Structure 1
Amino acid sequence: MAHVHADTPFAPLGLAVLTVSDTRGFNEDGSGDLLGERLTQAGHALVERQIVPDDVYRIRAVVSAWVVREDIQVILVNGGTGFMPRDTTPEALAPLFDKSVEGYGELFRQLSLETIGTSTIQSRAVAGLIDRTLVFAMPGSPKACATAWDGILAAQLDARTRPCNFVAMVLPEAKHCGSRQVSADEDVAERAGA
């Protein structure tokens, strides 16, 4: 089970929130509101927020523009992950990933099983790393966004979470997790109880 390591400082990240919807504007975007509130309450910065229609190329255009920005380390995408004909978020994002984070979708579905039962198999929540930017896609309901943030992302985007977190993937100056490569001197000191 993950735990917070008190000796490691919190490292605030810059996050962007992309809502994928053909029908919602900012006044109806409860999911985008929830994610923005949660990430700022956690100590991160909401750098940018947009809404785009369910369209592969418009999703890719926004994500690609955000990936090259120095002030954005994480992109949260909500909506378009179901099985309806217009749900194309996974198809838009997967070709952009340098590495996929398979465990994110697996864990999201496990957590949502508790609230929506077997309907969770229709969730195509995906995540991946594009260059040094993490992208997490989740269903567009506020409840699903809360499941993703509270159950997975809050801990994994916190440099203090042990044994591992994603902060070192996006901030080069961040310390790697305990299960990552450790220098010989650090290994000797750790074994000696220093």
Structure 2
Amino acid sequence: MSRIDETREFIPVHIAVLTVSDTRDMADDRSGDTLAARIEAAGHTLARRMIVRDERAEIAAQLHNWIADPEIDVVISTGGTGLTGRDVTVEAHQDVYEKEITAFGTVFTHVSMAKIGTSAVQSRATAGVAGGTYLFALPGSPGACKDAWDGILSLQLDYRHRPCNFVEIMPRLEEHKRRK
């Protein structure tokens, strides 16, 4: 069973929040606000925050920019994961991934089912790794952001979480580059 090992020291990570929307601005970005508040309350650093339009190339370009930034360990995007024609965040993320974290979507669906029942099937939440940076794409509702953070990310981004977590393998994400 998962648990927090209080004998281990907490290691804060630097997290960027990217809201994908054609209509929101910082004044009404409730999902971005939800994530930013939870990130800081957990003791992590909110490294960057911005809003981009629902344009696949723009989303991918911003992901690439933040992957290249040594001050960012994790990018969490919110919005654009649905089924409509303008929902292209998942495709933009997949354009960037070196490796997909395939179980993330499954676990997110499981967490969501407890809150919204079978409506959880409409989410295409996804996650992956590129350039040593974790990338998570969440739905655009504050509730979905709360569920993903509280039920998955707050634990996996906590070095003290047992039996394993994303933070403890961060130093090894790019070990393939050291092999010759």
Structure 1 segment 18-97 matched on structure 2, within 5 A: 18-97=18-97
CA RMSD of aligned residues (A): 0.9
Please report the TM-score for the alignment, with normalisation by the length of structure 2: 0.93
Aligned pair 1:163/2:163, yes or no? yes
CA contact (8 A) 1:79 1:138 kept: yes
**What is the identity percentage for the equivalent residue pairs of Structure 1 and Structure 2?**
46
Match of 1:133 in 2: 133
Aligned pair 1:110/2:113, yes or no? no
Runs of 4+ in 1 over 2 A off after TM superposition: 168-172
Give the Cα separation in 1 of the matches to 2:63 and 2:95: 12
Give the Cα separation in 1 of the matches to 2:140 and 2:73: 21
In 2 relative to 1, CA 34–171 (structure 1 residues): closer, same or farther, beyond 3 Å?
Answer: farther
Report deviation, 1:171.
4.2
CA contact (8 A) 2:74 2:135 kept: yes
Match of 1:14 in 2: 14
Give the Cα separation in 2 of the matches to 1:168 and 1:111: 23
1:50-81 Cα offsets, whole Å, 9 max, x none, are 10010000001111000011110000000000
Higher gyration radius (CA): 1
Give the Cα separation in 2 of the matches to 1:171 and 1:6: 22
CA contact (8 A) 1:132 1:169 kept: no
Unaligned runs of 5+ in 2: 173-180
Give the Cα separation in 1 of the matches to 2:5 and 2:17: 28
CA contact (8 A) 2:63 2:96 kept: no
Report deviation, 1:39.
0.5
Unaligned runs of 5+ in 1: 173-194
Give the Cα separation in 1 of the matches to 2:112 and 2:52: 25
Report deviation, 1:95.
2.2
